[in-house]
Amino acid sequence: MKARLNSIFEALLPVFATVAALLVGGIMLLILKINPLTAYSALIQGAFGSWNAFAETLVKATPLLLVGIGICISYRGNVVNIGGEGQMIMGAILSTWIALTFTNLPGWLMILIGMLAGVVGGSIWGGIPGLLKAYFNVNEILSTVMMNAIAVQIMNYLLRGPMIDPVQAKASSQIPQTARLVEAYRLPRLAPTRLHLGLLIAIILAVMVYILLWRTTLGYRIRAVGQNQPASRYGGIDVKRYIVYALLFSGAFAGLAGAMQVFGVNYRMITDGSATGFTGNAGFNGIVAALFGQLHPLLTIPASVLFGSLLVGANSMQRAVQVPSSLITALNGLVVVFVVSSEVLRKFQQRRRLTVAVDSPPPESGQPKAIEPDGEQP
């Protein structure tokens, strides 16, 4: 009974964390003499109040879901991928270049090639930190962050130079953006809104990642390496190879998210000079969505919708009650901090239970003592 209650509590930790963050945000609103109920009502209305609003929420959720399921793979392999922003950018660059270079291919073929190019670009950008981690013991947090910075510089150079829109090249403004994709190369819309086919693709991939992690030998080995590297090595698993695989797969999904932003939303690559100008922070918010979903690909689906609704609804709240944009940023940051903290607490509770189980004396009856699960159940 106690084990079941612990499991329920740990599963609900991200929900409690989000509620706590919103409560703190409500206190901040009260300090600004704004009714929190009115503000949060505007947030909900902006995210779910109409079909167009809900469709926009799903559009925001799509890149979060793709990045998030990639994060599920890397974190299950016990490697931390903070490089989603750079991986999205590199996937988008490669797919955009191919689409602008080969303009006479059938639309369906170019969409397929563009998505695969995004996967390749992202996997290369994720695989490099994987190789550095596996063979040179370079901290993957530092290397993925540095790869983000390199990707931004490459993007700025290309979008202000070789890949700049010819119209902008002649204008004095010279906005860093590419030319628009031809209409045949755009992802089909699912409704008369901005919602596109990428959402269905992302959901299907989330199911496939679940199957990969819990129903295949490859997924089992990735999780085994993440749980215990010495034991995995003793069992004959090539630990270095699966560390590389974990970051390579994670980068592939982030790169696909970048390609979908180009083919399904913007129809071109555009930025303000920063990573956020293109990604909208999806590379970082996808990490939070994955943590909220307990690093489970299927649970990451509703988690991504939730965070997509926060992004869309926050903009509506800002317009409705005239709150400063800095407060919206702070509210999003609070949710991130509280959710990440809840994951740290969950891991601490699991390690504590495991330590207690190991240190407990053997049962007197001679019956084997049951050890509570550590939450690794699919």
Per-residue pLDDT of the chain (378 residues; tens, 9 = 90+): 777 877 787 778 888 898 999 999 999 999 989 999 999 999 999 999 999 999 999 999 999 999 999 999 999 999 999 999 999 999 999 999 999 999 999 999 999 999 999 999 999 999 999 999 999 999 999 999 999 999 999 999 999 999 999 988 888 778 999 999 999 999 999 988 999 999 999 999 999 999 999 999 999 999 999 999 999 999 999 999 999 999 999 999 999 999 999 999 999 999 999 999 999 999 999 999 999 998 999 999 999 999 999 989 988 898 888 888 788 888 888 888 898 888 888 778 777 776 776 666 665 555 544 444 444 556
Q: Nearest to residue 275, comparing CAs of 84, 56, 64, 66? A: 84
Give me the pLDDT at residue 4, please. 80
Q: Nearest to residue 83, comparing CAs of 66, 67, 95? A: 67
Residue 277's Cβ-count burial label (10 Å; 0-12, 13-18, 19+) is middle
Give me the pLDDT at residue 306, please. 93
Q: Could you confirm whether domain 61-353 is CATH 2.60.40?
A: no
Q: Which residue has the tokens 């699912």?
A: 190
Spell out where 160-317 has E strands. none
Q: How many Cβ atoms are within 10 Å of 204's Cβ, its own excluded?
A: 10
Give me the pLDDT at residue 378, please. 65
Q: Nearest to residue 41, comparing CAs of 313, 335, 308? A: 313
Q: Nearest to residue 85, comparing CAs of 288, 257, 303? A: 257
For the chain, how many helices (H) and strands (E)?
15, 0
Domain ranges of the chain: 61-353
Give me the pLDDT at residue 370, please. 46
- pTM tops 0.75, yes or no: yes
How far is Cα 85 from Cα 280, in angstroms, rounded to an integer? 9
How far is Cα 32 from Cα 103, in angstroms, rounded to an integer? 53
Q: How many Cβ atoms are within 10 Å of 158's Cβ, its own excluded?
A: 18
Q: How many Cβ atoms are within 10 Å of 358's Cβ, its own excluded?
A: 8
